[in-house]
Amino acid sequence: MELTLSFYLASILAILLTGISKSGFGGGLGVMAVPIMSLHVAPQFAAAVMMPILLVMDILIVWRYRQTWDWSIVFGLLPAALIGLFLGSITFQHMDVDFIRLLIGLLAIFFVLQFFASRRAGCIFGVTHRPVVWGLGLLSGFASFVAHAGGPPVKGYLLDQKLQKTWFVGTNTVFFFSLNLIKTIAYGATGTLSASSMVTSACLAPVLFVGVFLGTRLHSLVNQDVFVKIVYGFLALAAAKLLSDSVPALLP
């Protein structure tokens, strides 16, 4: 596959946005990476290129935020998320990916609306019941495999837990590092990762270090209230992207 300058420029933008949002604010813009790159290559190739980059990002961010995560939250979500990954892997060829994007987009909007309603009315939904937490974990793992859109369910849950900003990023990163490690193995086993995609990932790898550095710097500069508003803003952008991709495709 011959890769153009336009592809590399788009990929640099996608990786920078992903690195900044993941390391500074727990993600949110990563959902845009594969669509941006897919303007120039097949979506499967774009996803394969991003997979090792995401894994290295997670390793760097886990180290940066080491010991600042809540294991009870991670272990509360992870078992169901792993089941979701497995279900996604065996049903991937038969699922309507656009329907999954629509579902995740609507869920993200729900969390954003809940935030504004709670600020106005002084109440909050309270995502604490174990079946609800398991459902969010299952949905995150499933959507992560079939549509690379597992972030909104988990971010909505973490925001509901009122974590301090550094613990929010640390907990989010440990959770998705676990998922991305297993996804990388699954991608390799299914042949999604290729020599060509790995070489391309290696060529683009320096950009991820810049994105992670910029994100961690921004994280230290913003206060807690601004941080929460930024994360909800990213969640709203992710919802808009998911809905704009899925709704036209589902309409007759």
pLDDT of residue 209: 98
CB burial of residue 6 (10 Å; 0-12, 13-18, 19+) = exposed
Q: Which residue has the tokens 């169901």?
A: 80
pLDDT in tens, 96-138: 778 888 888 898 898 888 777 766 654 444 556 788 899 999 9
pLDDT of residue 171: 96
pLDDT of residue 118: 64
Nearest alpha carbon to residue 236 among 58, 54, 112: 112
pLDDT of residue 124: 46
Q: Which residue has the tokens 């996803």?
A: 47
Low-confidence ranges of the chain (pLDDT < 50): 122-125
pLDDT in tens, 49-69: 999 999 999 999 999 999 999
Range of the domain at 34: 5-250
CA-to-CA distance for 92 and 148, rounded, in angstroms? 12
pLDDT of residue 76: 93
Helices 130-147 & 151-160, crossing angle to 10 degrees?
150
pTM of the shown model? 0.86
What is the identity of the amino acid at 232?
Y
Number of domains in the chain: 1
